[in-house]
Amino acid sequence: MKKDFILPILVLSLICFVVSGALAFVNNKTQPIIEQAARVRAERARREIIPQADDFELLKVDGLPGRITEVYRATNDTGYIFMITTYGYAPEEIKLICGIDPDGKILRTAVLSQNETQGLGTPIFEQPHAGQYWGMDKNGIDSISVISGATITSNAFKNGIRDAFTAFEIIRQGRQ
């Protein structure tokens, strides 16, 4: 009777141990590949935003707005890249990238990932809406209207871009 009770527990424990070990092994082998692919995607996105940049330098800046996760400077001083994480209507984060030239005008914006409602929230990230930001300075953002029915997502995008300008001002004032 004890054997009928203990044997299944031991077998299940052994199966769990073997599967856990296999998962740890696979994770150990694939993690560097996944990280390298993410670095390549991020570099490609930076080059799409500022194609004339020679290379990019990651800046360590204190006091950035919470939505700004990383800041890069083009090494030939053609602009800055701001990596933005914000939240719209969907519970998942929206990852954006925004390039600002040395004169404080948006070079380009792009969405890296989002899970907003298809057809309702997604037009915010597409042309012509997203392109309205290109060439604007921080004072022009308020002139961009939200998309009806997608106010939360529109405001999330707009607030992320505002934070990029705030970060740009922090960098320009030399508070690094």
Domain containing residue 75: CATH number:
3.90.1010
Identify the domain containing residue 116 by its residue range.
50-172
Tell me, yes or no, whether 82 lies in a domain: yes
Range with the lowest mean pLDDT among 25-34, 96-105, 109-118, 144-153? 144-153
Q: Is residue 97 situated within a structural domain? A: yes
* 126: phi then psi, degrees, rounded to nearest 5: -110, 170
Q: Is residue 71 part of a domain?
A: yes
Query: Which whole number is the average pLDDT over 88-100?
Result: 81
Q: Is the preceding omega at residue 102 within 30 degrees of 0, hence cis?
A: no
Pick from 118, 119, 113, 128: which is nearest to 160 by CA? 113
pLDDT cut 70: percent of the chain above it: 82
How many percent of the chain have pLDDT more than 90? 35
Please give the pLDDT value at position 39: 80
Count structural domains, the chain: 1
Higher pLDDT, 66 or 115: 66
Task: Give the span between the Cα atoms of 72 and 49, in whole angstroms.
Answer: 12
* Cα–Cα distance measured from residue 31 to residue 21, given in angstroms and rounded to the nearest whole number: 15
Quick check: is 128 in a domain?
yes
How high is the pLDDT of residue 176? 43
Closest of 152, 89, 97 to residue 130, by C-alpha: 97
Q: Confidence class of residue 78 from pLDDT cuts 50, 70 and 90?
A: very high
Is 147 within a domain? yes
Q: Judge whether 137 lies within some domain.
A: yes
- Identify the bridge partners of residue 80 per DSSP, sorted by sequence position: 73, 100
The reply to whether 132 falls in a domain is yes
User: Cβ(108)–Cβ(99) under 8 Å?
Assistant: yes
Confidence class for position 7, pLDDT limits 50, 70, 90: confident
Contact yes or no for 176/61 (Cβ under 8 A)? yes
Whether 154 maps to a domain, the answer reads: yes
Q: Is the pLDDT of residue 122 over 60?
A: no
- Strand, helix or coil for residue 79: coil
Q: Helix or strand or coil: residue 49?
A: helix
pLDDT at 5: 79
**Rounded mean pLDDT, 108-112:** 83
